């Protein structure tokens, strides 16, 4: 590693207590010296400041593991293509980052510390640039897609059918990230709700989140014929093609979309494999895809479906009353708190933790009263990452 990781860790420990101020200074410096770069970022910058320090924290945490650090940087480099980040942007970002760190480090900032950050940033930036160049040769930075259907089965959920402008390669269980011109430069991940289709279309299920600008636009305003952008598929949830153990799926809310794609895939690739699916919702009226659930249960003799509504009360009871879940491959999707609770419950019921599959689980809410400014970024919160599987995000 061509820089001093220990120097970076010590320096970061000095400024982490003033994370919010450092982020504010960074963006003020970046935009004042490079005003043309402001248009690359969302209009509302609050979340963007969260992303900056969360990404820096992830980098510092990986300094002891060069392989993990390189993998994270390569993921960031590939993801940044959708923001139209080019190699010439990296020096400006590096200069503003060092300026912010220098300003808030006070007397702890030395020539040796500046040298370590300059060398470290150079290595990181070059890794991201190389990854982006390699990705350019393999796939587009984004896909243009047309909204061919928009359906609101319940008031706060929309099912969108998308037709990409070119083949979109994905395996069932993965996610796509989406951006609409109605909310420029804001990207969000959504589970793909189907296995690959002959016509190339894909479904996503979107729940309107209070205060969520993109989810509100997708549910309330986007109409058939509009265009959206899709980022490359992300996530590691997928069926093991060689698996023979019975499958258990637990889905809550729009997390059903991921489960549906896995079941559609199993119907083609592993129809002899038994599966039991628990579908939870806040109420029976909130089961937004109930007709499809009933159709699947009636069509596929290997599939058993258990409806649990309201989910919080019945999911636990239904899972516990079935006894041991040892010997099952589990797939869990839905609100992070629900998935975390289901993991604990299933392990207590005999499931092997290594057999439980789900997307990474950020924790919503603070851990308790804040002890200082450092908790601003140390808290693990449910930030809507562009690529949650790798905690990706822009600077």
What is the per-residue pLDDT across 180-198, written as a single tens digit (0 to 9) for each?
999 998 899 999 999 999 9
Residue 64 has pLDDT above 90, yes or no: no
Q: How far apart are CA 230 and CA 12, in angstroms?
A: 35
Domain at 5-138+374-390: CATH code: 1.10.490.10
More confident residue, 15 or 366: 15
| CATH fit for domain 247-357, picks 3.40.630.40, 3.90.180.10, 3.30.360.10, 3.40.50.80 | 3.40.50.80
pLDDT at 1: 55
Name the architecture of domain 143-230. Answer: Beta Barrel (2.40)
pLDDT at 120: 92
More confident residue, 30 or 60: 30
What is the per-residue pLDDT across 125-171, written as a single tens digit (0 to 9) for each?
999 999 999 999 989 999 999 999 999 999 999 999 999 999 999 99
pLDDT at 309: 82
Q: Are 372 and 378 in contact (CB under 8 A)?
A: no
Query: In CATH terms, are 143-230 and 247-357 the same topology?
Result: no
pLDDT at 362: 58
pLDDT at 364: 38
Residue 89 has pLDDT above 90, yes or no: yes
Domains of the chain, residue spans: 5-138+374-390, 143-230, 247-357
**Helix (H), strand (E) at residue 203:** strand 202-207
More confident residue, 380 or 192: 192
More confident residue, 376 or 337: 337
At 316, the pLDDT band (50, 70, 90 cuts) reads: confident
CA nearest to 270, candidates 240, 305, 249:
240
Residue 73 has pLDDT above 70, yes or no: yes
> Which residues fall within 8 angstroms of residue 241, CB to CB, at 6 or more apart?
269, 270
Residue 68 has pLDDT above 50, yes or no: yes
Percentage of the residues of the chain whose pLDDT score is greater than 90: 67
Residue 85 has pLDDT above 60, yes or no: yes
Percentage of the residues of the chain whose pLDDT score is greater than 70: 90
Q: Which of 36-45, 101-110, 167-176, 361-370 has the lowest mean pLDDT?
A: 361-370
Q: Are 101 and 59 in contact (CB under 8 A)?
A: no
CA nearest to 279, candidates 324, 248, 244, 300:
248
């Amino acid at each position: 590693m061509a820089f001093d990781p220990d120097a970076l860790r010590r320096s970061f420990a000095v400024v982490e207590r003033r994370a919010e101020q450092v982020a504010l200074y960074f963006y003020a410096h970046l935009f004042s010296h490079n005003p043309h770069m402001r248009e690359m970022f969302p209009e509302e910058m609050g979340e963007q400041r969260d992303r900056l320090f969360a990404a820096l924290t992830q980098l510092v945490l990986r300094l002891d593991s060069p392989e993990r650090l390189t993998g994270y940087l390569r993921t960031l480099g590939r993801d940044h293509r959708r923001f139209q980040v080019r190699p010439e942007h990296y020096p400006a970002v590096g200069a503003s980052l060092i300026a912010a760190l220098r300003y808030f480090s006070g007397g702890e900032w030395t020539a040796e510390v500046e040298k370590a950050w300059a060398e470290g940033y150079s290595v990181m930036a070059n890794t991201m640039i190389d990854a982006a160049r390699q990705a350019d040769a393999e796939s587009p930075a984004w896909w243009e897609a047309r909204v061919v259907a928009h359906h609101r089965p319940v008031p706060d959920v929309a099912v969108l059918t998308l037709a990409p402008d070119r083949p979109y390669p994905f395996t069932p269980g993965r996610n796509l990230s989406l951006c609409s011109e109605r909310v420029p430069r804001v990207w969000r991940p959504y589970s793909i709700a189907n296995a690959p289709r002959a016509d190339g279309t894909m479904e996503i299920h979107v729940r309107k989140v209070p205060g969520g600008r993109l989810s509100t636009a997708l549910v309330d305003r986007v109409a058939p014929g509009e265009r959206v952008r899709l980022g490359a598929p992300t996530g590691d949830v997928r069926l093991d093609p060689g698996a023979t153990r019975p499958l258990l799926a637990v889905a809550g809310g729009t997390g059903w979309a991921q489960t549906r794609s896995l079941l559609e895939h199993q119907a083609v690739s592993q129809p002899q494999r038994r599966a039991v699916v628990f579908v939870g919702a806040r109420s029976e009226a909130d089961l937004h895809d109930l007709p499809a659930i009933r159709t699947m249960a009636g069509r596929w003799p290997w599939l058993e479906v258990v409806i649990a509504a309201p989910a919080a009360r019945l999911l636990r009871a239904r899972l516990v009353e079935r006894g041991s879940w040892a010997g099952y491959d589990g797939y869990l999707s839905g609100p992070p708190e629900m998935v975390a609770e289901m993991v604990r419950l299933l392990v207590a019921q005999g499931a092997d933790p290594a057999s439980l599959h789900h997307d990474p689980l950020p924790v919503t809410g603070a851990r308790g009263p804040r002890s200082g400014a450092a908790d601003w970024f140390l808290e693990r919160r449910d930030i809507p990452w562009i690529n949650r599987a790798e905690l990706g995000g822009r600077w």
